[in-house]
């Protein structure tokens, strides 16, 4: 399964790394692809192991907003 | 002694932390104050222990330009 999160506030490579790292730390997340220019974050995950709400929370904990 | 470096490319708190950390790691640097909005970085240092060139290099190694 793949979901796209719309994340705002990422401005640089460090931001990209924080968001990517936080999502990858979630059990069930298999791959994360961040587009810094558009704020679109594609998350590949195993259904039933992780929810969209948990992903959203992980990103927000890093200080970014998820639409 | 205090010197002000004009650093470009810092966009967020992570950038500020990298620049600050790199400068503070230099022997002779006592304090670093970063203004993210203006790019001005005030470095308080002990004369004779560290040079402006070394500071510039430390910032550039983090991926930012120093005017």
> What is the reported pLDDT for B54?
98
Q: How confident is the model at residue B14 (pLDDT cuts 50, 70, 90)?
A: very high
**Domain carrying residue B56:** 2-66
| Chain A interface with B: residues with Cβ < 8 Å | 11-15, 18, 63
- Residue A67 and residue A8: Cα distance in Å, rounded? 8
- For residue A30, name the pLDDT band (cuts at 50, 70, 90): very high
Q: What is the ipTM of this complex?
A: 0.75
CATH of the domain at B21: 3.30.70.100
Domains: count for chain B: 1
CA distance A37 to chain B (A): 13
The DSSP annotation for B10-59 comes to: --SHHHHHHHHHHHHTSTTEEEEEEETTTTEEEEEE-TTTS-HHHHHHHH
How does residue B50 score in pLDDT terms, banded at 50, 70 and 90?
A: very high
Strand, helix or coil at A58? helix
């Amino acid at each position: 399964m793949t979901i796209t999160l719309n994340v705002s506030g990422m401005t640089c490579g460090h931001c990209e790394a924080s968001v990517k790292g936080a999502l990858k730390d979630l059990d069930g997340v298999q791959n994360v692809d961040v587009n810094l220019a558009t704020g679109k974050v594609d998350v590949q995950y195993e259904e039933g192991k992780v929810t969209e709400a948990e992903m959203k929370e992980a990103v927000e904990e890093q200080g970014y907003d998820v639409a």
